[in-house]
Each structure stands twice: as structure tokens, then as C-alpha cells.
């Protein structure tokens, strides 16, 4: 062992079969985290270490080490964490909460590291043993040359005393990950899948090599920073405690140790790269979210309009079509914030251009939409049409900015425009050049109300192996695509983000939607789940897919409402709108060959139901916006699995038919046709849940059959919470920025409740740069509701005020309600509904930005 610095220990691992040596670095990090890196000690070629993901170099904390015996080293770090490193055979065991054994690394001895080698032996003449596929592989008609030979790396990561693991998106599968004993492993490889299958471990558009485990005692996480193709096997096992080291047997806390414990064995395999693993030791779900957020960053506060309703299809035909769709929302009085244009708006799929026959006045079109408080989004895919008369292609060709084939020529493939090239974003010069294409000078016809959509950025190559780049394509720095494949799309949307940020000189918050993603994508883009279908089974799959993304850091997530492929029947699309109105990113989108499906095209009654669902989203925007502010500050996703809020409730651990929005809303989408009742589990012992429509209370830790109709889906507000709403109807979110607030107060069994409200201008960075924001806390206790500042350093001018207060679960009709704000005392009108036990206080009057106390006597 070598102590590099306090918090950084260094060791050498030897492969006893071939005597190849590896360097092992252990870093004890702040916030109950540990990093372990393993790399070749003397490689003949430098192995790729992933860039652009970690936001800051993690802060080290001191570690105290001691030898347990000649074979075991113990280390203590942080307040409650420790590890035991075993030398022969190599193994690492991790403990949290002083003595709770949670993770074991290489306890199954599956560690394998294929070192780089030359094709010929040291004498330059004798070929090395050439196993099938070592230096070249074929896939259908494609050949993958491997000039540096095999380079894979694998290891087992085992979660002790756990029965559920989550994460490693993107897969259309259950939220609690399944055993792969009888299937292929879960695959991580960004690829364009046309109308994907569900209940399947196949790879999809994005990859995040991050897994979480949760049980009644603790939550932990493991993140392997590797951008190559990966495979992960999962097996549910039993761990015999008889076989544990005697020193480990003592580390089970207060848990009674039986002869066997549940254990989830995961075997991680990547084609190349190094082992760079982060272990997050919780112990709570919130701790794990924060620990991962410190490494990869959090979702920044999006513009308010970005979390409202978006309308899209492939494609709106021309300027008249856009005008008519906008008019349709006006005529049917349906709120909407963003209209989107897909690839057909361009001049022959040449991005940063317009089809001037269909869109002759794009700036005026955007300005006309902006008069309604609305924005527009256009698409910009990474493939560049091979056409010397296309300015983007001609300039990039002149500057040698394209990805290279293995022979050094520009790589050419096939995508929407036909013959296409791809920019090499790994080159900082090219990255900056691409970002600058979004300036008004270069993107003619764009305005300040136009934002971007990066699609097909896995990248999708129609004639490539698996519809993507060959693995021996070469990027800047002599990087093979096999090393970096899964971050290509992230670099594109990072460059797009920079372009939009520079366009406004750092004032306006950008909005980008991406299909391809990696760990860290949350810092610059929203994500959607790609090409789903108009089927009930795909609607059912939305919740587990979004939860998997949420717990792995991607906060602004959604799925195409109604399904991208095929035509939804009226019941399906109504149910989809109702579900999506309570999910982070809310966009309707459809394939070019589908029937038009604007919200008013399914009959008057269904138009009413869809309008009602969209209006519900706008009602809750103050709550959503507050949650996204907390995501930026605390890495707490707005959309949460039930166990993240009720970590000790074992009934929630496999739940993916329902979810939480923040701590306060429980949502049960209806994902089957023609149902009249659903079985609903209400989590949380000693918890009350109030139906948001009927105000009927339900007790936690109970499963009940609840009658449903087409009017809505079951949604419940948690007792003990206060949710801010805006009830006035507007055509778009930004027109309501100064509208009054209604507080919905639901009392718990102690007749108490609390909540928060965050407000700012909704679109600039002034909340950071000039501290122009309001962040309030509401507390109901001892018959008093108080409003106080959570951050007195923030100041924001607003005319918003408290218009109404609704208190559910109040036991009796109050004699008097009074409110004191500064030196003023008012006695507002109130009413009491005895059957529902609801107090409604009308026009109490205080400003959002002031301290006040409402007293009930």
C-alpha cells in the first residue's frame, strides 16, 4: 500500500496467470462515498478515461487504516463508513451506518481485465494466439477491426441483504430490475430502436451505468464511469453467512443474522475503458440522490414554460398549419406553451435551414406565436447532409471536422438526408464551432423564442452496424468509437446548450430535448423515451421507464403522449394525457404516418377531458417549479418511486404502477382499458391521503379498491403537506407569472402540515446572478398557518398574492379566522364543509413575498 495523500490509497494488483500488473486507487470522498479506480500499470497504449461527466473533482476526506491481519486492511472514513480490502484474492467490502454490510466487490471472483497487447509477440514474428474475435469480428455484413486487440473489463458488484435494485437505464422493463438468469443481460449501448419491444433488457437510446439498491435499513448506489458498450447480469442469490470472514460477521448492525441473507449479484462487463467505480453509501434515498448529484451534477432549474404543455408531431406542414394549430388551442381554450417542428421544416434535412416554400417567414411565425406567450422548438440532428452547396457541410469539410473511418478518411453513412457525415464533438474546436451555429448570425430565421431538439444522436446511421457507428470509427485524440460510443449524443446536446447560452450572452436558460443521453446529461437537456407506440402496454411501461431515469439523475423526463407509432383510440389518449399531466416533461408527439391528433380531434367529450388534464398540469405548475428548484439544489428528483418517500415500507419496493410527485402527491395512472375500479396501495403507516377531487381521506398502509371513471385518474395529496396552486386559467404559463396563489393544506393526524413555494421570473438566470427569487415556507401548527422566508437573501418583485386557502381534515367549523401581515390584521370570509371537514378561506390577501400568520379560533 502507498498513501498518496490522506484520502487516497494506492495498491498494485497482479494477475497471477500472466503476471500483468494493475494499479488500484482508493479515494475516500465526502458525503459517504468512495471511488475505486483500476487501470493497467504499464499499458502499451493509454486506456480511455471518460471526460465531460464529473462536474468537479470529488473532495477527499481523511481515512484511518489498520491491518486486521496479513490479508485484510480496514479503513474508516466519514462519520459512518468503512471498508475492508482483502489482498488475496482481491476483494472489497463496504459498510455504512458504522456496521451495516452493504456491498461486496469481486466476492464472486469475476474480475477480469483484458490488457492491451500487440498482435505479434515481442520478437515481432510469432503471432499471438488468435482466439475467435480477438482482432476482428463480423456482424451480419459489417466487419469490426480491433487493432489493439481485446480490451474488455468485468467485475461482480454484490448488494448484501438487498432484494431489489434499480436504474441502469434505458430499458423498457420493470423498475425493480429482473434477474437475467434466463435472459440476455441488460445492455448499455446507445442505439436507435424503431418501435421498441417492452419487458426486454435490450439496449435503447441512452445509457447510465448507475444502479441503486434499497432495503428497509439503507439505500446505496454504484456508478461505473465507462462510455463503452456494457452488459450487466443480475442474479437473486442467498449469501451463506458461514462463509463470511469472521471480521465481516460482526458488521450487520442490529439485524438478526440468519444462516442465509438475500444478496443480489450483479456482473458488469464493458468492452473497453478502465474500472472507475463510485460507491454511494447513503444511508437514505435522499443521501444517495445527493451523493450521485455531487459527482455528475443536477438538473438545473428549467424555464417555467418548459415544464408546461408541448404540442408536436412529425411534421407540422407549413406556416399556415402552425397558425391553425395555435388557433385551435385558442378556440378550444386549451393551454399550451410550445409548438414543435420536426425534420420536414428544413431545406432537405439540412439543419439550421428552412424550407422557404413552406416556411418563408420563420421569424414572423415565431413572433406571432410569442404574442400568445408561447415558444417554438426546431430539430437539429447530428448527421450533416453531404452537399457542397450546404454551408454547414462545406465549412466542416474544409476544416476537417468530421469523424474518421479507420483508414483516416471522413466517415460517411446514411441517414434522413441520404449520404451524411458526422461532426467530431470530442474535438474542443469542433464542439465550440457547432455551438456557434446556434447564434442568430449563423442560424438564420431563429429568434430568442426558438429552442432546440437533438434527435437521432446515438448516433443513428441507417446503414451502420446496429444502425449506428462502426466501433472502429476514430474520434479526436485517436479514440475509437468502441471507447466513447455512449457519450457522443451527450456531447452534441452539451454543445447545443452552450450555443443557446452564448446566444443570449448567458442571460436566458436554454431548453434542449435529447434522445441519446449518458450520466451528466441532466445538466443540459431534457430526455424522452423515444419511439413508443399507441398501445396500452406502452402506456403502462411509461412509469417504470421514467422512474429509472429519475433515480439516476435525469429529472426532466417524459414519454410521447399517445404513443409515437400507430393511432390511439380516444380512451387511450385521454388516459395518456391524464397520466402525463403528472409527469415531468409533458409533450404530445406522433409519427408522420399517423392521423392528426390535436386535443380537439377525438370528440367534444374527450376534448373536455383532455383540456381538463392539461389544465390540471397548469394548476400545479407552482408546485412543479418548486420541486425543480429543489432538484437543482438537492438532486432530489421531482418524480419519485414510493420507496424514496417511504423507505421503510416494504410494500413499496417493487411498485411501478404508481409514483410520487415530490413528497406530497401520490399518482396512480389508469393504464388498462375499460376499468371501473383499481386496487390502490396507500403507503406510509400513520399517514392520511386526501383525494384531490373529492377530499375523501384514506389511511396509509392499506390496499383498497377505488372506483374510477373517465373524468380523472386517482391522485392523492399526503396529509401533512401544503401545495401551492394557480387556479386562474391562462393560455400559457408565462402569462400567469404574477397570478395569485391558492394553498391546499392537508392536515396529518397531528393537525399539522408544511410546504414550500419557490418563484422567480421563470426564464433568466437572475435567480442566480442577482438573487431575484422568493423561497417561502408554509407551516400549519397549533391552529396557525405561517408564511416565512427560507432564504432572506432572495428578492423578487411580484404582484402575486394569496387568493385562497383550503384546509382539509380540519375537525370543526372555526369561530373566527384572522390573518396578520405586518401591522395589518384582516378577517377574511370562510366557509366550512362539515361532511368533508374542509375549511375554505377566501381572499385572505397577503402578498406572496411577505411574512404573515393566519390564526383559526
* Alpha-carbon span 525 to 39, nearest angstrom: 32
Cβ contact 485:50 at 8 Å: no
Cβ contact 275:38 at 8 Å: yes
Residue 661 pairs in a beta bridge with 639, 665
Cβ contact 550:637 at 8 Å: yes
DSSP annotation of 652 = G
DSSP 383-448: EEE--TTSHHHHHHHHTT-B-B-TTSSBP-EEETTEEEEEB-TTSHHHHHHHHHTTSTTTSTT--T
* Alpha-carbon span 51 to 227, nearest angstrom: 9
Query: Would you state the cell numbers that stand for residue 454, as one nine-digit string?
Result: 437533438
DSSP annotation of 48 = P
**Distances, alpha carbon 687 to alpha carbons 426, 664, 749, 783, in Å:** 51, 11, 7, 20
Cβ contact 724:623 at 8 Å: yes
Quick one: how far is CA 502 from the chain centroid? 25
Active site annotation includes 455: yes
Assign 550 to helix, strand or coil: helix
Radius of gyration of the chain measured on its C-alpha atoms: 28
**Cis peptide before 459, with omega less than 30 degrees from 0?**
yes
DSSP 600-630: TSS-HHHHHHHHHHHHHHHHTHHHHHHHHHH
The Cβ of residue 286 has, within 10 Å, a number of other Cβ atoms equal to 17
* Alpha-carbon span 728 to 479, nearest angstrom: 55
Angle between helical axes of 319-331 and 362-370 (0-180°, round to 10): 10
309-311 and 375-379 strand pairing: unpaired
Query: Would you state the cell numbers that stand for residue 792, as one nine-digit string?
Result: 432572506
The residue annotated as part of the active site, out of 337, 531, 649, 657, is: 531
Assign 200 to helix, strand or coil: coil
The residue annotated as part of the active site, out of 355, 455, 739, 760, is: 455
Active site annotation includes 531: yes
Catalytically active residues are 455, 531
Amino acid at each position: 500500500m502507498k498513501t498518496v495523500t490522506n484520502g487516497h490509497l494506492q495498491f498494485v494488483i497482479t494477475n497471477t496467470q500472466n503476471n500483468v500488473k494493475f494499479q488500484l486507487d482508493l479515494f475516500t470522498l465526502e458525503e459517504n462515498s468512495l471511488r475505486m479506480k483500476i487501470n493497467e500499470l504499464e499499458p502499451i497504449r493509454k486506456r480511455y478515461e471518460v471526460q465531460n461527466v464529473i462536474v468537479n473533482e470529488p473532495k477527499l476526506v481523511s481515512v484511518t487504516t489498520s491491518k486486521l491481519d496479513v490479508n485484510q486492511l480496514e479503513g474508516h472514513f466519514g462519520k459512518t463508513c468503512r471498508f475492508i480490502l482483502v489482498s488475496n484474492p482481491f476483494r472489497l467490502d463496504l459498510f455504512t451506518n458504522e456496521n451495516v454490510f452493504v456491498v461486496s466487490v469481486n466476492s464472486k471472483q469475476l474480475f477480469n481485465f483484458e490488457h492491451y497487447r500487440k498482435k505479434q509477440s515481442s520478437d515481432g514474428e510469432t503471432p499471438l494466439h488468435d482466439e475467435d474475435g480477438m482482432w476482428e469480428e463480423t456482424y451480419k455484413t459489417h466487419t469490426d477491426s480491433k487493432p489493439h486487440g481485446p480490451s474488455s473489463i468485468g467485475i461482480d458488484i454484490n448488494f448484501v441483504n438487498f432484494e431489489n435494485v434499480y436504474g441502469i437505464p434505458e430499458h423498457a422493463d420493470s423498475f425493480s430490475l429482473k434477474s437475467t438468469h434466463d435472459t440476455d443481460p441488460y445492455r448499455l449501448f446507445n442505439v436507435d430502436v424503431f418501435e421498441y419491444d417492452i419487458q426486454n433488457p435490450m439496449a435503447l437510446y441512452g445509457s447510465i451505468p448507475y444502479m441503486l439498491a434499497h432495503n428497509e435499513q439503507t439505500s446505496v448506489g454504484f456508478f461505473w464511469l465507462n462510455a463503452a458498450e456494457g452488459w450487466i447480469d443480475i442474479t437473486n442469490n442467498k449469501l451463506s453467512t458461514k462463509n463470511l470472514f469472521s471480521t465481516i460477521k460482526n458488521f450487520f448492525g442490529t439485524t438478526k443474522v440468519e444462516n442465509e441473507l438475500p444478496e443480489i449479484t450483479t456482473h458488469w462487463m464493458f468492452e473497453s475503458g478502465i474500472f472507475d467505480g463510485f460507491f454511494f453509501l447513503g444511508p437514505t434515498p435522499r443521501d444517495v440522490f445527493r451523493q450521485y448529484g455531487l459527482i455528475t451534477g443536477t438538473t438545473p432549474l428549467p424555464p417555467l414554460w418548459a415544464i408546461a404543455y408541448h404540442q408536436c408531431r412529425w411534421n407540422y406542414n407549413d406556416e399556415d398549419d402552425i397558425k391553425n394549430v395555435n388557433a385551435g388551442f385558442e378556440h378550444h381554450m386549451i393551454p399550451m406553451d410550445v409548438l414543435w417542428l420536426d425534420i420536414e421544416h428544413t431545406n432537405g434535412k439540412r439543419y439550421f435551414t428552412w424550407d422557404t416554400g413552406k416556411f418563408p417567414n420563420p421569424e414572423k411565425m415565431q413572433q406571432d406565436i410569442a404574442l400568445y406567450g408561447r415558444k417554438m422548438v426546431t430539430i437539429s440532428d447530428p448527421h450533416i447532409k453531404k452537399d457542397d452547396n450546404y454551408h454547414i457541410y462545406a465549412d466542416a469539410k474544409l476544416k476537417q471536422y468530421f469523424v474518421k473511418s479507420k483508414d483516416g478518411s471522413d466517415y460517411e453513412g446514411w441517414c434522413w438526408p441520404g449520404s451524411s457525415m458526422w461532426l467530431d464533438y470530442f474535438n474542443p474546436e469542433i464542439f465550440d464551432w457547432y455551438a456557434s451555429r446556434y447564434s442568430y448570425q449563423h442560424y438564420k430565421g431563429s429568434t430568442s423564442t426558438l429552442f432546440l431538439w437533438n434527435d437521432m444522436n446515438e448516433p443513428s446511421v441507417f446503414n451502420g452496424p446496429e444502425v449506428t457507428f462502426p466501433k472502429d470509427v476514430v474520434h479526436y485524440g485517436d479514440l475509437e468509437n468502441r471507447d466513447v460510443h455512449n457519450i457522443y449524443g451527450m456531447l452534441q446536446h452539451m454543445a447545443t446548450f452552450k450555443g443557446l447560452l452564448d446566444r443570449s450572452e448567458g442571460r436566458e436558460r436554454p431548453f434542449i430535448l435529447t434522445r441519446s443521453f449518458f450520466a451528466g446529461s441532466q445538466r443540459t437537456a431534457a430526455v424522452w423515451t423515444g419511439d413508443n407506440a399507441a398501445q396500452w402496454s406502452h402506456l403502462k411501461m411509461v412509469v417504470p421507464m421514467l422512474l429509472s431515469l429519475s433515480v439516476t439523475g435525469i429529472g426532466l423526463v417524459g414519454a410521447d403522449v399517445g404513443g409515437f407509432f400507430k393511432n390511439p383510440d380516444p380512451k387511450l389518449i385521454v388516459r395518456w394525457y391524464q397520466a402525463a399531466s403528472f409527469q415531468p416533461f409533458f409533450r404530445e408527439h406522433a409519427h408522420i404516418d399517423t392521423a392528426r391528433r390535436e386535443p380537439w380531434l377525438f370528440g367534444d367529450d374527450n376534448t373536455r377531458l383532455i383540456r381538463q388534464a392539461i389544465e390540471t398540469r397548469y394548476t400545479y405548475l407552482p408546485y412543479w417549479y418548486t420541486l425543480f428548484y429543489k432538484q437543482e439544489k438537492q438532486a432530489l428528483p421531482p418524480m419519485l418511486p414510493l420507496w424514496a418517500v417511504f423507505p421503510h415500507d416494504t410494500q413499496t419496493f417493487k411498485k411501478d404502477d404508481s409514483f410520487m410527485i415530490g413528497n406530497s402527491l401520490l399518482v396512480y395512472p389508469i393504464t388498462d382499458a375499460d376499468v371501473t375500479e383499481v386496487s390502490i396501495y396507500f403507503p406510509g403507516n400513520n399517514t392520511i391521503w386526501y383525494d384531490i377531487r373529492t377530499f375523501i381521506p384514506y389511511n396509509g398502509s392499506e390496499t383498497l379498491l377505488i372506483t374510477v371513471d373517465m373524468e380523472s385518474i386517482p391522485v392523492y395529496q399526503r396529509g401533512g403537506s401544503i401545495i401551492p396552486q394557480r387556479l386562474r386559467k391562462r393560455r400559457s404559463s408565462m402569462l400567469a407569472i404574477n397570478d395569485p396563489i391558492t394553498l391546499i393544506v392537508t392536515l396529518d393526524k397531528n393537525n399539522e402540515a408544511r410546504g414550500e413555494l419557490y418563484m422567480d421570473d421563470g426564464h433568466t438566470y437572475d435567480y442566480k446572478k442577482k438573487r431575484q427569487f422568493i423561497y417561502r415556507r408554509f407551516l400549519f401548527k397549533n391552529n396557525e398557518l405561517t408564511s416565512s422566508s427560507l432564504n432572506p437573501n432572495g428578492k423578487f418583485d411580484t404582484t402575486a398574492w394569496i387568493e385562497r386557502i383550503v384546509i382539509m381534515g380540519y375537525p370543526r367549523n372555526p369561530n373566527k379566522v384572522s390573518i396578520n401581515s405586518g401591522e395589518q390584521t384582516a378577517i377574511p370570509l370562510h366557509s366550512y364543509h362539515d361532511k368533508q371537514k374542509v375549511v375554505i378561506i377566501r381572499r385572505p390577501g397577503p402578498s406572496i413575498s411577505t411574512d404573515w400568520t393566519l390564526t383559526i379560533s
